[in-house]
Amino acid sequence: MDHPRYPRPLGLDPLAYGGDYNPEQWPEEVWAEDVRLMREAGVTMVSVGIFSWALLEPERGQYEFGWLDRLLDLLHAHGIRADLATPTVVPPAWFYRDHPEALPVTREGVRHSFGSRGAICHSSPAYQQAAAAVTEQLARRYGTHPAVALWHVHNEYGVPVSDCYCDESAAHFRRWLGERYGTLKELNSAWGTAFWGQLYTRWDDIQPPRLTPTAGNPAQQLDYARFTNDAVLANFKRERDLLHRLAPGIPVTTNFMTALSQCQSMDYWAWGREVDLVANDHYLVAEDPRSQINLAMAADLTRSVAGGRPWLLLEHSTGAVNWQPRNLAKRPGELARNSLAHVARGSEGAMFFQWRASRYGAEKFHSAMLPHAGTDSRIWREVVELGQELGALAEIRDSLVRADAAMLWDWESWWAQRLEWRPSVDLDARERAEAWYTASWDAHLTVDFAHPEAELSHYPLVVVPALYLTTEAAARNLRQYVENGGTLLVSCFSGIVDEHDTVHPGPHPGALREVLGLRVEEFAPLRAGESVRLEGGGGSVRPEDDGASVRLEGDGELRAGAWTEFVVTEGAETVWRYADGPAAGGPAVTRHALGAGHAWYVSARLDGEGLDRVLRAASADAGLAERRLPRDVEVVERVGEHGRYLFAINHGAADADVPAAGPGVELLTGASVTDTLAVPAGRTRVLRY
CB under 8 Å to 431, separation ≥6 — which residues? none
- Considering only 239, 281, 501, 666, the residue that binds ligand GAL (CB under 6 A) is 281
Q: For 557, how many CA atoms within 13 A lie in the half-sphere containing its CB?
A: 6
**Partner whose footprint covers residue 169, from Zn ion, ligand GAL, none (CB < 5 to 8 Å by kind):** Zn ion
Distance, in Å, from the CA atom of 170 to the CA atom of 571, rounded to the nearest integer, reads 49
Q: How far is the CB of 64 from ligand GAL (least distance, A)?
A: 22
Count of residues engaged in binding Zn ion, rule: CB under 5 A: 6
- What is the contact mask toward Zn ion in residues 59 to 78, using x (rule: CB under 5 A)? --------------------
Give φ, ψ of 606 to 5 degrees. -70, 150
Cis peptide bond N-terminal to 220, omega within 30: no
Give the separation between CA 606 and CA 621, rounded to whole angstroms.
Answer: 19
Residues serving a catalytic function are 156, 315
Our CB check for ligand GAL shows the closer of 259 and 405 to be: 259
Which among Zn ion, ligand GAL, none contacts residue 164 (Cβ within 5 to 8 A by kind)? Zn ion
483 lies in the binding site for ligand GAL (CB under 6 A):
no
Nearer to Zn ion, 128 or 477 (CB): 128
Binder of residue 366, out of Zn ion, ligand GAL, none (CB less than 5 to 8 A by kind)? ligand GAL
131/408 with CB nearer ligand GAL: 131
Distance of alpha carbon 477 from its chain centroid, rounded?
Answer: 23
Q: Where are the alpha helices (DSSP H) in 182-333?
A: 184-190, 218-246, 268-272, 291-305
Instruction: Tell me which of Zn ion, ligand GAL, none is bound by residue 363, counting a contact when its beta carbon lies within the kind-specific cut-off of 5 to 8 angstroms.
Output: ligand GAL
Q: How far is the CB of 131 from Zn ion (least distance, A)?
A: 15
**155 part of the interface to ligand GAL, by CB under 6 A:** yes
Residue 179: how many other CB atoms lie within 10 Å: 8
- Chosen from ligand GAL, Zn ion, none, partner binding at 121 (C-beta under 5 to 8 Å by type): Zn ion
Q: Choose the binding region for Zn ion from 162-170, 239-247, 429-437, 513-521 (rule: CB under 5 A).
A: 162-170
Integer Cα distance of 318 and 299 in angstroms: 17
Q: Distance between CA 149 and CA 55 in Å, rounded?
A: 22
340-359 positions binding ligand GAL, by CB under 6 A: 353
**Which residue in 89, 119, 164, 648 binds Zn ion (CB under 5 A)?**
164
Residue 119 binding Zn ion, by CB under 5 A? no
Residues 6+ apart with CB under 8 A from 329: 319, 320, 367
Residue 139 three-state SS: helix
Give every CB contact of residue 179 below 8 A, 6+ residues apart in sequence: none
What is the Cα–Cα distance from 292 to 448, expressed in whole angstroms?
17
Among 96, 283, 415, 493, the residue binding ligand GAL under the rule CB under 6 A is: 283
**How far apart are CB 322 and ligand GAL at their closest, in Å?**
7
Query: Do β-strands 148-153 and 81-86 pair in parallel, antiparallel, or remain unpaired?
Result: parallel
Q: If 0-12 CB within 10 Å is exposed, 13-18 middle and 19+ buried, where does residue 507 land?
A: middle
Q: Determine the Cα–Cα distance for residues 172 and 3; give it in Å rounded to an integer.
A: 29
Binding residue for Zn ion, selected from 35, 50, 72, 121, defined by CB under 5 A: 121
On the CB side of 640, CA atoms within 13 Å amount to: 18
Candidates 56-64, 85-93, 157-165, 408-416; binding stretch for Zn ion (CB under 5 A): 157-165
Range in contact with Zn ion (rule: CB under 5 A) among 68-76, 121-129, 464-472, 600-608: 121-129
- SS3 call for 317: coil
Residue 389 contacts which entry, ligand GAL, Zn ion, none (Cβ below 5-8 A, type-dependent)? none
Residue 258 interacting partner from Zn ion, ligand GAL, none (CB closer than 5 to 8 Å by kind): none
Among 363, 385, 573, 612, binds ligand GAL (CB under 6 A): 363
Are residues 568 and 521 in contact, defined by beta-carbon separation less than 8 angstroms? yes
Alpha-helical regions (H) of 247-317:
268-272, 291-305
> Residue 142 contacts by C-beta under 8 Å, 6 or more apart in sequence?
68, 72, 84, 148, 247
| Residue placing its CB nearer to ligand GAL in the complex, 357 or 660 | 357
Site for Zn ion, residues 314 to 353, rule: CB under 5 A? none
In terms of CB distance, is 121 or 177 closer to Zn ion?
A: 121
- Provide the 3-class DSSP secondary structure of residue 551: strand
How far is it, in rounded angstroms, from Cα 192 to Cα 187? 8
* Contact region with Zn ion (CB under 5 A), list: 32-40, 165-173, 301-309, 484-492: 165-173
Q: In angstroms, rounded to a whole number, what is the distance separating the alpha carbons of residues 227 and 164?
A: 11
- What part of residues 285-344 is at the interface with ligand GAL (CB under 6 A)? 315, 317, 321
Identify what 156 binds: Zn ion, ligand GAL, none; CB under 5 to 8 Å per kind.
ligand GAL
**Interacting residue with Zn ion among 169, 317, 417, 574 (CB under 5 A):** 169
Given candidates 80, 147, 166, 532, which one binds Zn ion under the rule CB under 5 A? 166
CB of 451 to ligand GAL, least distance (A): 25
Q: Please say which residue, 366 or 613, places its beta carbon nearer to ligand GAL.
A: 366
Closest contact distance (angstroms) between CB of 105 and Zn ion is 6
Task: Work out how close the CB of 445 gets to ligand GAL at its nearest, in angstroms, rounded to a whole number.
Answer: 29
If we measure between CA atoms, which residue out of 260, 25, 243 comes closest to residue 159?
A: 260
Residue 51 C-beta: closest distance to ligand GAL, Å = 7
How far apart are the C-alpha atoms of 129 and 149, rounded to whole Å?
Answer: 26
H helices present in 484-603, as ranges: 513-516
Q: How far is the CB of 89 from ligand GAL (least distance, A)?
A: 9
Stated as kind and residue range, the H or E segment containing 38 is: helix 28-41
DSSP H or E segment with residue 380: helix 378-392
Q: Does residue 24 touch ligand GAL according to CB under 6 A?
A: no
Smaller CB separation from Zn ion, 224 or 493:
224
Q: How many residues sit in the footprint of ligand GAL (CB under 6 A)?
A: 10
Which span sits near Zn ion by CB under 5 A: 52-60, 70-78, 114-122, 588-596? 114-122
Nearer to ligand GAL, 24 or 363 (CB): 363
Q: Is 366 in the site for ligand GAL (CB under 6 A)?
A: yes
Q: C-beta of 118: minimal distance to Zn ion in Å?
A: 13
Nearest partner of 368 among 335, 344, 340, judged by Cα:
335
Quote the least distance from Cβ 268 to Zn ion, whole Å.
23
DSSP secondary structure, 204-236, as one string:
GG---S---SS---HHHHHHHHHHHHHHHHHHH
| Sole binder of ligand GAL in the list 57, 156, 223, 382 (CB under 6 A) | 156
Report the residue number, 359 or 628, with the smaller CB distance to ligand GAL: 359
Task: Return the residue nearest ligand GAL (CB atom).
Answer: 353
Footprint of Zn ion (CB under 5 A): 121, 123, 164, 166, 168-169
Footprint of ligand GAL (CB under 6 A): 155-156, 281, 283, 315, 317, 321, 353, 363, 366
